[in-house]
């Protein structure tokens, strides 16, 4: 999760009327939209996620998974290199599974950066047995920046397909940097996230705010609404909805959610 909460405290008041629905458990949650169902596959363990994709694959629609869903992040971001072969195997299994459906599978994963021992946080899209897109995370969280393992691409490249864009977790905060001409065409944002993952020192640093919110789960949910309402919907006037696939850890609930602009 984006741990620079000081930044969130500087957000302007929400300017959009937004209705939010939460699914605070791991599992599969299906969201109907006018463009077909979006299936949130929320699992905290990579093997459980891939097993669910293989056994409960919907016949159509879009599947969205959490951020870096192929990575065991309990081992820390500095362990990514040692997990590379496992990640590739899981990706291959998901790609093969995509042969059995017309649904697109948006898989949170990692990808080797051109620089030595550096990695990109990515969302790979599979359809009918092929990888059709890779979206690289540009707006990194504070934890990613400090890890020394994850880096942003040199240039931002946002692809909009049929009015939909993929923004990865903390990129929801950085929508003010989107090219205005591109942003105008975005109606739906699909977000692989790790919002419910508690980073080292997070609880201690935010203890007063967590207590005031009534606990870590309420705190995470409040911050999600603050970001989506105060940044994302405000910065992209054409935006109709944001759908988040999340993972929780250390007893935290995932912040799987659907945020819809109410006219």
**How does residue 13 score in pLDDT terms, banded at 50, 70 and 90?**
very low
For residue 135, which of 201, 190, 217, 80 has the smallest C-alpha distance? 190
d(CA 14, CA 2): 19
Mean pLDDT confidence for 110-117: 87
pLDDT 10s digits, 145-181: 888 889 988 877 777 888 899 999 989 887 765 666 5
251 compared with 184, residue with greater pLDDT: 251
The two tokens of residue 22 are 């939460």
61 has a pLDDT exceeding 60: yes
- What domains does the chain contain, in order, with CATH numbers? 5-261 (3.60.110)
pLDDT 10s digits, 188-245: 999 999 998 876 667 777 888 889 999 999 999 999 999 998 889 988 889 999 999 9
What's the pLDDT score for residue 97?
Answer: 98
- Sheet with 241-245, strands from edge to edge, namely 18-23, 256-261, 241-245, 188-192, 164-166
Which residues neighbour 22 within 8 Å (Cβ) at sequence distance 6 or greater?
221, 255, 256, 257
Phi first, then psi: give them for residue 44, nearest 5 degrees: -90, -15
Cα-Cα-Cα-Cα torsion 230, 133, 29, 34, nearest 10 degrees, comes to 80
d(CA 69, CA 105): 12
* Angle at 248 (CA atoms; ends 3, 139), nearest 5 degrees: 40
Which residues neighbour 91 within 8 Å (Cβ) at sequence distance 6 or greater?
70, 107, 109, 124
For β-strands 38-42 and 62-64, DSSP reports them as parallel
Count of other CB atoms within 10 angstroms of residue 185: 14
Percent of the chain with pLDDT over 90: 60
The two tokens of residue 244 are 């988040």
Half-sphere exposure of 41 (CA within 13 A, CB side): 29
The pLDDT mean for the chain works out to: 88
pTM: 0.91
What's the pLDDT score for residue 173?
Answer: 84
């Amino acid at each position: 999760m984006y741990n620079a909460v000081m930044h969130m405290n500087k957000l302007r008041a929400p300017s959009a009327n937004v209705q939010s629905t939460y699914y605070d458990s791991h599992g599969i949650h299906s969201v109907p939209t006018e463009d077909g169902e979006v299936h949130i596959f929320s699992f905290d363990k990579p093997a459980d996620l891939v097993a669910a994709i293989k056994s409960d694959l919907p016949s159509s629609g879009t599947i969205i998974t959490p951020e870096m869903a192929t990575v065991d992040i309990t081992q820390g971001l500095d362990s990514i290199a040692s997990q590379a072969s496992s990640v590739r195997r899981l990706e291959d299994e998901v790609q093969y599974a995509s042969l059995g459906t017309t649904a697109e599978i948006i898989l949170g994963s990692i990808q080797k950066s051109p620089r030595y021992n550096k990695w990109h946080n990515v969302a790979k899209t599979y359809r009918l047995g092929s990888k059709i897109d890779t979206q690289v995370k540009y707006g990194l969280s504070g934890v990613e920046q400090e890890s020394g393992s994850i880096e942003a691409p040199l240039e931002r490249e946002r692809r909009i397909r049929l009015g939909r864009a993929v923004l990865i977790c903390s990129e929801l905060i950085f929508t003010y940097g989107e090219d205005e001409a591109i942003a105008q065409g975005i109606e739906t944002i699909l977000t692989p996230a790790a919002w419910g993952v508690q980073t080292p020192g997070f609880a201690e640093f935010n203890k007063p705010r967590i207590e005031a919110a009534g606990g870590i789960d309420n705190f995470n949910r409040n911050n999600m609404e603050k970001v989506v309402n105060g940044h994302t919907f405000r910065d992209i006037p054409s935006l109709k909805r944001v759908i988040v696939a999340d993972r929780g850890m250390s007893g935290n609930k995932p912040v799987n959610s659907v945020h819809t602009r109410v006219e």
